Chains A and B, each alone.
Chain A
Amino acid sequence: MPSARFPIPQGTLDMLILQILTLGPAHGYGIAQRLNQISKSVIQLNQGSLYPALHRLEHKKWLKGEWRQSETGRDAKFYSLTPAGRKQLATEKNEWARLAGAVQVIFDEGT
């Protein structure tokens, strides 16, 4: 694997999953693909951590899992955002923006 790809920063995978699901319900494979496409393959998803994360979010009731037919005709478990998940995403995005802003300020003026 080329080293130009970054591993997902600790703790942001949940946020990314929630964000991707704002586009509509998706199954695990779909989420992995979308993450890959949107981040233009810059972010490297460790696929082993995707499923525990999905189940964690489902356990917290931020996601809802549902079995239905996928585009290939086979049954797959589709995850969709719950209202609580939407709220959580908004909070996390807000916090991320504040953190990124603060980091940026330090970069700009900290010299």
Chain B
Amino acid sequence: MLKHLLNWFRLRRLEHDLGRELKYHIDRRIDDFTQMGLSESEARRQATLEIGGVTQIREDVRDVWLTRWVRDFVYDVRFSVRSFLRAPLFTITAVLSFALGIGATTAIYSLVDQVVLHALPVHQPERLVLIDWKGVTASVNAFGTYNLLSYPLCRDLQHQRQSFDGVFCRAATTISLSTGGDHVPTAAEVVSGTYFSVLGIQPTLGRLLTNDDDGAPGASPVVVLSYGFWKTQFNSASDVVGRKVLVNRHPMTIVGVAAAGFSGIDVGEVPSLWIPAAMSADAFPGFDQMLNRRVRWMQVFARLRPDVTLAEAQAGLQPWFKAMLAEDEQRPEFPKITPDRRQRYLASALELTPAAQGHSPLRRKMSQPLWVLFGATGVLLALACLNVAGLFLARGSARGREIFTRLALGASRGRIGRQLLSDSILVAIGGGLLGILLAPVVMGALIAFLPQGTAANALQSTLNPRLLLFAILVSVGAGVLSGVAPALQASRRSLIASLTERAGSASGSLRLRRAIVTAQIAVTAILVVGAALFVRTLTTLVAKGPGFATSNLISFTVDPVRNGYSRADADRLIRDIHDEIRAVPSIQSAAIATNPLLLGGSWNTQMTIQANQRISTDREVHINAVSPEFFTTLGVKMVAGRDFVERDTLPASEGGLCVAIVNETFAKRYFDGRSPLGAHVGLGSGPDVNAAVEIVGVASNISYRGVREESEQAYFPLVSCATSGGTFYVRTRGSREPAIQSIRAIVHQADPTLPLSPIRTLDEQVSRSLTTERMLAALSTGFGALALLLSLVGLYGVVSFTVAQRTREIGVRMALGATRLATLWLVLRDALVMTTVGIAIALLSIRALGRVIESQLYEVTPTDPPTIAIATVLLCSATLMAALIPARRASAVNPADALRLE
């Protein structure tokens, strides 16, 4: 095959040599014959006769060089290129249709690939599994994202050699890092010593972490740099090993640099360095629970043994795990729990899931929207294919005579069909190449939609070989799909019938084109309705807002514990900063919350409520600790009761009260219209919870994790002496610039080395928390508009074609007294039928497809009548406009001219 293709490139040379070879043969034969006594011309005749036709031999030899189909293909392509150059408008329309479809599909696929599909660049990623503990929420403390286990459990799992070749654990964190100068917030991964060896990563420089680094807490103050960080921050210095860096102010030694191309196991959070779990007290300031079995903070991964399946490994773990649970329960420090909870604890089990792609909160959040968008681009591509198929059919009718002539001259039907197929594949590849040029631009725009910081630096908008392969496969696939219908059509035609037909009246192809346009309108209707739904979701959410006035509201976070402060010092610092900020004239008020709003995270737990009777909440309640004036600063109305006051912040020992504020949703769900004031609550569920905190107020609802959410919330006062860090919310007077200047000055004066998070407006934060919704709305609108454009082009083409074909008929009708309006109607009716049928198909499909996007919508169902009505009206008016142009042309036909045609 390869050699055949190679031959194609040196065809000229081969032909030349063959010519010489044959000439030599014939000349020698001529000599033979003349020697036998024949005349020169007779000898030549004999020699030629004997060899049986030089042209035939050359053809046969060429078949040897190229094989039949390569040759035919080469001829087809040449022929296609020539005919495309003759019809530039057709070619441009077809290529652009494909370029849009393929460009968009490739761009979205690249994100799907990077976020969802891409396996880690490690040794045999398909054998990695994530170990999760199912069925237990009680008696544990957890911090981090998902699938958390404790460090001692990870160490236990490392002994399960019958299932695993190795086990490692990791936790993501942000540390304050100094490589000599400023302290900069830097992403890091806290990992067990087995991390690199289990993943199979090699060092670029020095050594990586090993089992020896899994020693006692604090015993191994070393770090490994990522290749990227070493390159950018240390200019790839070869003597970096042995240098010291400050991690949250603790000196640690660089022992090595990891391999290039490896950037951790979370696609959304790229660590700059790795810190051994033994140093977790330094990486997570104030955290001394590394060896506590009941504190879960790490994800645990294992590499399956080659001879063990996932199910076998999971089953193999259970006996040991049950024994471990039973043993754990006997430990003196095991919390006292109710028999019911004890039962649940003992029944819990470990679960393994494939983890070739690592672990990523970004993937959790983005994979569904990305698949929805990928589906939409697939539909768009299908539309582009239909459009090109329609164009080819039109061209097929116009080229009817040429095709019939070729058939009459003896070309096989298969050969003609293949010619048309090669036409469409060529157009698709042209479109694909253009699409590949477009794709990085679209990708850049897409990545800009994602939250800055995390995803933006991890995702790339460049093309890789995988992506190119994808684009090429899609192009060829699209070419084949769009070429099949016209090719079949052409090869099915009856030769005799075609030749006796008048030019341009191929009714079969028209029927097919009508079907194609109907399908296009159906697909467009689906995309337009989808776009309308996403736009409504976004506008509803924007109109709803977070439940508080965001103008003139700014926020920033300080976390002094990461800078080496003790909890008491941190509390003092934060209170000082708070007091000074409130004294600034350009600031109206300021408050602190331990957990930031609108960043997707929350502190949540079940609660126990003691009113007339004692109940546990059936869902987790979202909890925050806030300073007095939090609600005032945010402008949240108190529906009942009172806000927190200074006295609430005193510890109970100093006369402080144990009080809480709940939100309206909480009051509605658990108090059923009665007043919750005076009722008591406690954190956690079960009989051993002490419900002693009194509810003193009910606040109107505000958004906590995101704008979409309407959860039950409870607020506790920020107790003094325990405030180790938090997010400040500051309401400014007038312009915010002077306030921001003052805040920077105050924080800098309090401690010049304290890193200050960027000061953000709440407007910006609300908008950031809606990125997914905005991305879906913007992209689906773009896709809908493109789809509409493509199908209008298709519809216009078909209607124009019909009009051109029926000119004679229209002329006769008008001569017999038909009015212009009747003629107009004659043409429009056609378009209206296609539109109506298309929309009907779309509505049925939307019912079926609705479930896929339901979770991405807000307060609107996929079959929302007003949305569908608007989309339908839009679509109908657009198609009528497209049909009106050729229809007017029809009604302007002069009967005399029309009858004289042909």
Contacts and interface: CB of A to CB of B under 8 A. Distances in A.
B52 A28 contact: no
Contacts of B20: 75, 77
Contacts of A51: 18, 21-22, 25, 57, 60-61
A28 B20 CA distance: 12
Interface stretch (A8-16, A52-60, A95-103): A52-60
| Dominant secondary structure at the B interface | helix
A39 interface: no
Interface in A1-58: 27-29, 32, 46-49, 51-52, 55-56
Contacts of B60: 48-49, 51-52
A49 B64 CA distance: 12
A47 B3 contact: no
A28 B64 contact: no
Given A52-B63, A55-B64, A76 B24 contact: yes
B64 A56 contact: yes
Interface in A55-85: 55-56, 59, 67, 70, 72, 74-77
Contacts of A76: 21, 24
A48 B24 contact: no
Given A47-B52, A48-B52, A29 B29 contact: yes
A59 B24 contact: no
B57 A52 contact: yes
Interface in B787-801: none
Instruction: For chain B, give the interface size range.
Output: 20 to 34
Contact of A55 (B3, B24, B28, B61): B61
Contacts, number: 56
Contact of A48 (B3, B21, B29, B56): B56
Interface residues of A, number: 20
Nearest to A32: B25
Given A48-B51, A52-B63, A55-B64, A77 B21 contact: yes
Given A59-B3, A59-B64, A28 B57 contact: no
Contacts of B24: 27-29, 70, 74-77
B576 interface: no
B50 interface: yes
Contacts of A59: 3, 64-65
Interface string B13-55: 0000110111011011100000000000000000000111100
A59 B63 CA distance: 11
B21 A52 contact: no
B64 A47 contact: no
B25 A48 contact: no
B25 A28 contact: yes
Contacts of B65: 55, 59
A49 B53 CA distance: 11
A77 B20 CA distance: 9
26 contacts: A27-B21, A27-B24, A27-B25, A28-B25, A29-B24, A29-B25, A29-B28, A47-B50, A47-B51, A48-B56, A49-B60, A51-B21, A51-B22, A51-B25, A52-B57, A52-B60, A52-B61, A55-B18, A55-B64, A55-B65, A59-B65, A72-B28, A74-B27, A75-B20, A76-B24, A77-B17
Interface of A: 27-29, 32, 46-49, 51-52, 55-56, 59, 67, 70, 72, 74-77
